[in-house]
Structure 1
């Protein structure tokens, strides 16, 4: 049978890719419809490449008027009222948007988070960009676990404090993750947003859209090492117990300058709690 790659077929492939269907699922659909494997691959590869270029182009420019999580620093306050606690403004950076905070968590809250997380620790995973699942990654050598949002009175209290602090709804946040870094453990520089060019990203985005900001809270202090580094900004934030570092990104693109990582712990151990904020309600 003579088969032709028609404009209608190309349009259908573009529509399916835009709706979030994976390359493999589209290929399977073509084969099931009787397309020759070689011709199906040619048709799909052409349209898939165009789809990836379109996604990358869209990601490179910020959305007009997009609102982001942020702190109210218009009058250069030394402290911010977070509802149940006054939080210190230690340092700010405009580009990338980074704010170092002091006294976000009490010593008792740090200890309670560590105690609740410790029995549930497993080797930390990262997002599997091909499928939207999770995988072991040699770049991340910590142990970690996730709490459900609002899982306990402690979690609900801290999440409400964060929401007021950065002017972002509680339900737009992922569940808090707690990580333990022993001596030698690190997380090499990376971005927290989901790369639009990866095939698994549409699956991830269905649960609340892109990540738009990150808050890393320090629950303990290593003796040496373990800072949060921003290589593009030449910045390193020391892991001080009860303090935190907030940063936001207006689009999923390296131009945001939010490349960051957890430097190796040289001596002692470091515990952190991370809160990722999404565009929409995270379910």
Structure 2
């Protein structure tokens, strides 16, 4: 059975640490209860490293990608398209967007990606590179920046919408989730403890924002979930969800996942934004 660190577990661990329970005793207690030792060590280490800031928002550094939400704007001019602001959350910064992509654009991206799909991987923890992870049961591919006219147009729109340079974005990744596929809760920033992180950061620094664009509407399931804040964003063709994270820490509350597709399939396009120029 796959195990992962849930918000409920982190809150319980926080309470134990604050009450004076030793970290080593917590790890022993978790392993005796059936938790994998590696996961128990990771859970306790994360809390000790970031001091658990809870829901108190730390100062937001200048220079994060961000739509212009001044004066409660409900529409944002992205150059060639008016983007709808459907919902916002302050902490973590989450913005649900409508009318980001047209139906034709969604279908064109899927058509270009479909022949190049392969089993999705995640950043390897113990070695350089990536690896298949049972927590992620999708297939995917990456476009190069400006690889075709549709991708180039969408990237320019995103840059204007989020006020972030095109060159600071990774190539668009397209993912396909068949019925039963999911991506269990995770963070998008690069973990300093992973072997690959040092080399990854040389190519533009940390990730600071994520934009998930929905290329179709599954018949049931497939929402993007944020367990820390009990938020679920339904996958609706042409819409998107954006979130940013000022620090590579769980205190950003950006734990998120792709809920299991219950009927039909789900296609998404993800754009990750870096601190600096991505090469």
Query: 1:1-283 maps to which residues of 2 (within 5 A)?
Result: 56=49, 65-283=61-279
Unaligned runs of 5+ in 2: 1-44
Aligned to 2:3: none
Q: Distance in 2 between matches of 1:188 and 1:230?
A: 11
* Residues 246 and 64 of structure 1, relative CA distance in 2, 3 Å threshold: closer
Work out whether residues 173 and 278 of structure 1, in 8 Å CA contact, stay in contact via their aligned partners in 2: yes
* Residues 133 and 63 of structure 1, relative CA distance in 2, 3 Å threshold: farther
Post-superposition shift, 1:203?
1.1
Structure 1 length as normaliser, TM-score?
A: 0.78
Note the aligned Cα RMSD (angstroms).
Answer: 2.0
Post-superposition shift, 1:62?
6.9
Structure 2 length as normaliser, TM-score?
A: 0.79
Post-superposition shift, 1:63?
8.4
The range that moved more, 171-180 or 130-139, is 130-139
Q: Distance in 2 between matches of 1:160 and 1:192?
A: 22
* Residues 132 and 98 of structure 1, relative CA distance in 2, 3 Å threshold: farther
Q: Distance in 2 between matches of 1:65 and 1:190?
A: 23
- List per-residue Cα deviations over 1:138-174 (Å, max 9, x = no partner): 0000010000011111111000000000000000000
Work out whether residues 62 and 250 of structure 1, in 8 Å CA contact, stay in contact via their aligned partners in 2: no
Runs of 4+ in 1 over 6 A off after TM superposition: 60-64
Work out whether residues 177 and 265 of structure 2, in 8 Å CA contact, stay in contact via their aligned partners in 1: yes
Unaligned runs of 5+ in 1: 1-51
Structure with the greater alpha carbon radius of gyration = 1
Q: Secondary structure at the match of 1:75?
A: helix
